[in-house]
Structure 1
Amino acid sequence: MGVNEKKRLSPELREKQIVSEAIAFFADQGFGGQTRELAKRIGITQPLLYRYFASKDALIERVYQDVFVGRWKEDWQAILTERAIPLRERLTRVYREYARVIDNREWVRILILAGMKGESLNRRYLDQVRDKLIEPLCREMRHEAELPSPEDVPLSSQELDIAWSFHGTFIYRGIRKWIYNVPVEGDADAAVDNAISVFLDGFPKTLPRILSGSAAG
């Protein structure tokens, strides 16, 4: 009898078990972790694991789909760009929810460990953030400040850096908690609201200077 073949599951449940355990395993070990060890941790043979996922890359792709794609809310961009709603309210709705999604040990650790290992899934996720949150946010800030649209004056690297820094505030809160093991105190919604206030106070004052510098250049 195999490692744990006395415990037979339906194919659907076995696949879910493998994915769930793989998420926890890669969050602990990074993507350098061996599938042999993962199979042992699950209590199945390595050949059985490969019956469900033909390669380690296929399993990593499924982990990416579950952890990042599956938890992404497609309406975030729509909310962020709905100009009938005040910008502060839009940011609050999007980032309170985003902060709740990423306040997760596996999400944070897989993102960081994937980046350290050079896995493409990290780049793919950040590309999605840039396309669906960062660039739309910069566009909305231009509109709020009554400045030229990106069609007239392309977004500058400085604008994008400011938006990334704002966005990264929420990820860093998770890094402190799940990477550094530093207690994160205080109400999460209040932390989001404070970050939004700092951003909205500073970005509109900085934008005209950035754009005037771009025009002068």
Structure 2
Amino acid sequence: MHTEPPKPRRRMAPQDRRRQIVAGAVSYFAETGLSGNTRDLSQRLGVTQSLIFKHFPTKAALHEAVYEQVFLSRIEPHWPALLRDRRLPLIARMGQFYTEYTRAIFTYEWMRIFMFSGLEGAELNRRYLGHLQQVILSPMLEELNAAIAPAEATPEDIWRLHGSIIYIGIRRFVYQTPVPEDEVPAVLDSVAHFLGRWPGLV
């Protein structure tokens, strides 16, 4: 029986191959969770496991690259300054931030990797939430408390708002239940409802 010889693997520049592996890993882990194995990933990419380990010596190193790609790269550097810009009403600042933030993270890959990593107890999830609190949620709380003084909001108040907005994306990409095609009105309504607890903010 005649069989076709295997096609030679196309040579790629190291940085291009690395990007290919990371992109494939993001797609793969979004389906399987971070516990997915590199053997199956290599088959999906059409490369050998040894090639993956040439670029990422350990699975943890590959997870780190996925973390950078999926989570950290989507946090825009101007967001903390936006939240602190008191030339704008707080509702405008928070509304603009959450509009931009949800557009960045409301994707199949972000939502599912975030949920999987949380369920699997992965350190990546905790690191991301800690980073988010430091660069985004803490400044947001400071600005809220400056606006409502002498009243005082707590970190838990901010986390409740944040969680209610993220849940819109979870419904779409994890539960796969109907949500509006354009989530922005729902996001802005959540911000307005939250700030409506304090007179003069809406």
In 2 relative to 1, CA 3–115 (structure 1 residues): closer, same or farther, beyond 3 Å? farther
- Structure 2 partner of 1:178: 173
Q: TM-score, length-normalised on structure 2?
A: 0.90
Q: 2:130 aligns with which of 127, 130, 139?
A: 127
Tell me if structure 2 keeps the 8 A contact 1:18–1:42: yes
- C-alpha displacement of 1:170: 2.1
Q: Distance in 2 between matches of 1:194 and 1:3?
A: 56
Q: Match of 1:183, SS?
A: coil
Give structure 1 stretches of 5+ with no counterpart. Answer: 149-154, 206-217
Q: Distance in 1 between matches of 2:7 and 2:40?
A: 14
Deviations 1:154-179 (A, max 9, x none): x8xx7211110111122111110111
In 2 relative to 1, CA 159–40 (structure 1 residues): closer, same or farther, beyond 3 Å? same
Matching of residue 197 in structure 1 with residue 200 in structure 2: no
> Which region of structure 1 is more displaced relative to structure 2, 26-35 or 8-17?
8-17
Moved over 3 A (4+): 2-5
- Structure 1 partner of 2:91: 88
Matching of residue 188 in structure 1 with residue 186 in structure 2: no
Q: Distance in 2 between matches of 1:98 and 1:83?
A: 20
One-letter identity of the residue aligned with 1:188: E
Q: Match of 1:51, SS?
A: helix
Deviations 1:54-86 (A, max 9, x none): 110000000000111111112111111111211
RMSD (Å), alpha carbons: 1.8
Q: Distance in 1 between matches of 2:6 and 2:157?
A: 52
Deviations 1:33-56 (A, max 9, x none): 011110011000101111111110
Aligned length: 195
Q: Match of 1:70, SS?
A: helix
- C-alpha displacement of 1:186: 4.9
Q: Distance in 1 between matches of 2:6 and 2:174?
A: 33
One-letter identity of the residue aligned with 1:170: I
Q: TM-score, length-normalised on structure 1?
A: 0.84
Q: 1:137 aligns with which of 137, 140, 150?
A: 140
- Structure 2 partner of 1:215: none
- Structure 2 partner of 1:63: 66
- Structure 2 partner of 1:16: 19
Q: Distance in 1 between matches of 2:15 and 2:8?
A: 16
Matching of residue 7 in structure 1 with residue 10 in structure 2: yes
- Structure 2 partner of 1:164: 159
Give structure 2 stretches of 5+ with no counterpart. Answer: none
Matching of residue 38 in structure 1 with residue 41 in structure 2: yes
